[in-house]
Chain A
Amino acid sequence: MTLSLIVLIVLGLAVIGYFLGRQRAVRTAERDGVKLHSLPSYHGESVALFAAVPALFLLGAWLFIQPVLIESSISGKIPDSAVPEGGAKSLVMFDVRRIADGLNQIIAQGDISESDLVNMSADVTDVRARLAEVGVALGSDVSPVVFEAAKEYRSIELTASFFRNLVVLLVALAFGIWSLARIQPGLRARNISETFVTALLMGSSLVAILTTVGIVGSLLFESISFFKMYPAKDFFLSATWNPQFRGGSDLGFLPLLWGTLYVSVVALALAVPIGLMIAIYLAEYAGSKLRSFAKPAIEVLAGIPTIVYGLFALITVGPFLRDWIAQPLGLGSSSSSVMTAGLVMGIMLIPFISSLSDDIINAVPQAMRDGSYGLGATKSETIKQVILPAALPGIVGAFLLAASRAIGETMIVVMGAGAAARLDLNPFEAMTTITVKIVSQLTGDTEFASPETLVAFALGLTLFVFTLCLNILALYIVRKYREQYE
């Protein structure tokens, strides 16, 4: 029985439960000749909720836990001798899973029956060729131990899935029947179903917490196993980044940090003054005609996905800077450079800064402006000497938020900044950032046992901590500032 079928059956039970509950409520009320406490539909609703929700939650939890349990029980049974020299047990387990999948497909095609499979053994049959026929290509011949493990994996999985379906259906039926049986005219069905819904609403709001827990948990867990393999001192203090897939890599974090900060500084140096000036001009000077045209245009910039900026950096800005500035001045010949990524990222950040500063400038009380004009100051003097100082905390907050975005931005630097880890001052050289290296270490075939892969989690953790601090600081400053004028 497939998963979707189970879900459909449970939902079907809920619908049937709804109608049965309604009917029963009406019938009992008629029989006893009393009025119902709640509307009949609430009785139906409570039955439907009890039938569907616990069963579906159980199903979800089971799906989450089953693979982990099976995995650990099988991998305990594979002797260390079956793990090839220099390989990892996780790779053997990967093969086991694939062989099990392949066996499922062979059986689904009906070529061999379940009982044949029990007798099938890797010594006699050419399992590899047989699996290749159903599209499971294996790197090497299947050893008997692995094949037996795969067969066991498959049979445990089949049994577990059977029990899962059985238990889920039983739970749905049991809760449905129980809540159907307790229906009587005096039952406070509305209160029951409303409490149930409130609990569901509260559960949904916990998803945000769970996400954060998931992020922190996965980053910490994998980072710890990275730091067990690779000393933290070398990671944080070394100036060489040179991953080798044969081991013995230098995974120094400093060149990546330098590249990240350099690109961000270039981006902010472009975006902050321009964004601020746009906000000032549109708030204080522009006529309604210009504003009605310029504001949406700048908002469009904010809605463009970063991959578009990345492509812009790659095919237009990069070659332009190389051909017109870097090469004539003899500063470099690479089209991906800190300057390319920084400028394009700056353009991306302009609308972000300008819309945040716009809010902040508008929050400065009009009385302060009027006071300044009354003393004879010009508009620009008022802005420079009254509004900006008053708005400064808010602008600092906007600046920090923009900095956090610049540090975490990925696609523009992946396509515009280059991949060479380097500590250099020349902005026309290709340099690399934390996010670029996270992408390059985690794409492709990832094997979760080597420090070269796990370093990405340590980088991710540093990035997360960095941006989190900036965000919290920024939110704190902005909130504080808002209170000041409210």
Chain B
Amino acid sequence: MTEVTADIATATGRTTGRSLFKVDERTRKRHAAERRFRMMGLAAVIFSILALVGLMTSILSNGLSSFSQTYVTLDVHLDAAKLDKQGNRNPADLEKITTFTIQPLIQSALQKTMQERGISVEGVNAKKAVELISKEAPAQLRRFILDNPDVIGKTVTFDLLASGRIDGYYKGRVTMESAALDRNISPEQLTLADAFKNAGILEARFNWSFFTAPDASDTRPEAAGLGVAILGSAYMMLVVLVLALPIGVAASIYLEEFAPQNRWTDLIEVNIANLAAVPSIVFGILGLAIFINFVGLPQSAPIVGGLVLTLMTLPTIIIATRAALKAVPPSINDAALGIGASKMQAIFHHILPLAAPGILTGTIIGLAQALGETAPLLLIGMVAFVREYPGAPPEGFFDPASALPVQVYNWTQRGDPAFVERASGAIIVLLIFLVIMNAIAILLRRRFERRW
């Protein structure tokens, strides 16, 4: 044996005395390559986790501040002589009150408070001072007066929205330097805001109206909220759930349990696999061409969005349901058939209930996908500026509405940087909904899924 090795060693020109315990050059190189490869793998994992962290940090750092909002507390005297000249509190006459009538009331209330507290800043007159308060405030007062006509003539304490720039000042978006260059706000006004803050009439609070208020115009980012968008998304999810779940389950049962093995079935299966991979924007084109142009359903309506998202979600639900049905062992089916059940009875009485947790999990994941989908909704007109809440279902399904992801897109298209904060805040709301839905799906799977 030794002679043979020695022969080979001399034949290949290598020195004898090679040992497995001594690492030679080539092995070292191979091990270095091994380590490099391993490091590359680790680096890839770290990169993707960093990307996730970066994404989340970016959204959270931009968006968390939208959950607080700066308010100014003012005692406003609702002057009966100005608001109700006839003095009869007639609702039809009150309807005619405009925000231009109310604006001076706010201005004088602010002036009065400043005098009482001895707040004054050089270079800020009463007209400039009232700019600290949002342009939405008169509209807010008007709504309040119309709802409670008997407050006219009394002095009422209101929490009024501060303007977007003031709000931005306390969130670090607006600084003294940037205010000096800004037409909408001056450094003196910021100083006044600081004085208000010290006097306790200006403070930041939790921003409930972000979840309930409708969208607001370009110049009033402070008043913009997600109310209509959340409602619109909820309506669409309802439509998707009502349509996609039964159709998806029925189609899966047919394909899994009844369909004969032939070309027709093959065609349907290939179709479903392909639909799952069709770009979402193509479904938007389908919705525009068929549901809006051909059938004549209204634009921006949740029903159209719901129908489009249903078609998009169906493949997901069908794939999940078929997997759930397949996971039920055939012995259940055989036992049911053996004691005289029909095929339909075996499926509906035994297999389907056992597959239900899996089906529900798949449905929730499909819904979560649909909730975040934006592109098709842009095409069916959901980007429109909608301030009115849609009505109660089923008529409300045909009213114009917005949707959460579309509202995000809408806000990013506006000039005021305050809308970037709102958009990030809306993303956080969207992600919270998604986390809840996914958590429910995981919980269902953990709690009810049976391993056979």
Q: Does residue B59 face the partner (Cβ distance < 8 Å to A)?
A: yes
Q: Does residue A297 face the partner (Cβ distance < 8 Å to B)?
A: yes
Contact A408 B279 (CB under 8 A): yes
Contact A351 B48 (CB under 8 A): yes
Q: With a 10 A CB-CB cut-off, give which of A4, A207, A347, A379 has the most chain B CB atoms.
A: A207
Q: With a 10 A CB-CB cut-off, give which of B55, B342, B434 has the most chain A CB atoms.
A: B55
Within 8 A of B (CB), among A363-407: 378-381, 383-384, 401, 404-405, 407
Chief secondary structure at chain A's binding surface: helix
Contact A197 B286 (CB under 8 A): no
Complex Cα spacing A427 to B248, Å:
43
Residues of chain B contacted by A198 (CB below 8 angstroms): 254, 258, 344
Within 8 A of B (CB), among A50-64: 63-64
Complex Cα spacing A465 to B104, Å:
62
Contact A281 B408 (CB under 8 A): no
Contact B423 A472 (CB under 8 A): no
Q: Which of A273, A301, A380, A448 contacts B52 (CB 8 A)?
A: A301
Q: How many residues of B contact A (CB 8 A)?
A: 90
Q: Does residue A222 face the partner (Cβ distance < 8 Å to B)?
A: yes
Q: Which of B45, B247, B284, B378 contacts A207 (CB 8 A)?
A: B247
Contact A305 B374 (CB under 8 A): yes
Q: Does residue B51 face the partner (Cβ distance < 8 Å to A)?
A: yes
Contact B344 A197 (CB under 8 A): yes
Complex Cα spacing A214 to B379, Å:
16
Contact B281 A410 (CB under 8 A): yes
CB distance from A266 to the nearest CB of B (A): 15
Segment touching A, from B1-9, B76-84, B288-296: B288-296
Q: Does residue B255 face the partner (Cβ distance < 8 Å to A)?
A: yes
Q: Mark A280-317, 1 if CB is under 8 A from B, else 0.
A: 11100110001000100110110111111111101110
Q: With a 10 A CB-CB cut-off, give which of A310, A350, A379, A381 has the most chain B CB atoms.
A: A310
Given contacts A316-B58, A408-B282, contact A439 B378 (CB under 8 A): yes
Residues of chain A contacted by B295 (CB below 8 angstroms): 63-64, 67
Chief secondary structure at chain B's binding surface: helix
Q: Which residue of B lies closest to A219 (CB)?
A: B285
Contact A435 B375 (CB under 8 A): yes
Residues of chain B contacted by A208 (CB below 8 angstroms): 251, 268, 271-272, 275, 314-315, 318
Q: How many A-B residue pairs have CB under 8 A?
A: 267
Complex Cα spacing A414 to B48, Å:
23
Contact A201 B281 (CB under 8 A): no
Complex Cα spacing A456 to B427, Å:
29
Given contacts A201-B258, A415-B412, A442-B285, contact A297 B274 (CB under 8 A): no
Complex Cα spacing A184 to B224, Å:
65
Contact A307 B372 (CB under 8 A): yes
CB distance from A16 to the nearest CB of B (A): 22
Contact B278 A468 (CB under 8 A): yes
Q: With a 10 A CB-CB cut-off, give which of B43, B52, B273, B282 has the most chain A CB atoms.
A: B282
Q: Does residue A189 face the partner (Cβ distance < 8 Å to B)?
A: no
Residues of chain B contacted by A17 (CB below 8 angstroms): none
Given contacts A305-B430, A311-B59, A408-B282, contact A378 B31 (CB under 8 A): yes
Complex Cα spacing A298 to B53, Å:
11
Q: Which of B258, B274, B279 contacts A463 (CB 8 A)?
A: B279
CB distance from B46 to the nearest CB of A (A): 9
Complex Cα spacing A414 to B376, Å:
13
Contact A378 B48 (CB under 8 A): no
Q: Mark B85-110, 1 if CB is under 8 A from A, else 0.
A: 00000000000000000000000000
CB distance from A62 to the nearest CB of B (A): 12
Q: Does residue B448 face the partner (Cβ distance < 8 Å to A)?
A: no
Q: Does residue A134 face the partner (Cβ distance < 8 Å to B)?
A: no
Q: Which of A197, A282, A347 contacts B45 (CB 8 A)?
A: A282
Contact A435 B278 (CB under 8 A): no
Given contacts A285-B41, A380-B38, A443-B378, contact A294 B49 (CB under 8 A): yes
Q: With a 10 A CB-CB cut-off, give which of B272, B372, B375 has the most chain A CB atoms.
A: B375
Given contacts A214-B290, A218-B289, A415-B412, contact A298 B427 (CB under 8 A): no
Q: Does residue A464 face the partner (Cβ distance < 8 Å to B)?
A: yes
Complex Cα spacing A323 to B221, Å:
27
Complex Cα spacing A312 to B427, Å:
11
Instruction: Please provide the 10 A-B residue pairs with the shortest distance between their CB atoms, ordered closest to farther.
Output: A408-B279, A305-B372, A281-B41, A218-B289, A204-B250, A277-B44, A380-B37, A410-B375, A201-B254, A205-B251
Q: Using CB atoms and an 8 Å cutoff, list the residues of chain B in contact with chain A.
A: 30-31, 33-34, 36-38, 40-45, 47-49, 51-52, 54-55, 58-59, 62, 246-248, 250-251, 253-255, 258-259, 267-268, 270-275, 277-286, 288-290, 293-296, 311, 314-315, 318, 342-344, 368-369, 371-375, 378-379, 381, 383, 394-395, 405, 408-409, 412, 420, 423-424, 427, 430-431, 434, 438
12 A-B residue pairs with Cβ-Cβ distance under 8 Å, sorted by A, are: A198-B258, A212-B274, A281-B42, A305-B371, A306-B372, A307-B372, A315-B58, A380-B34, A410-B281, A439-B379, A442-B285, A467-B277
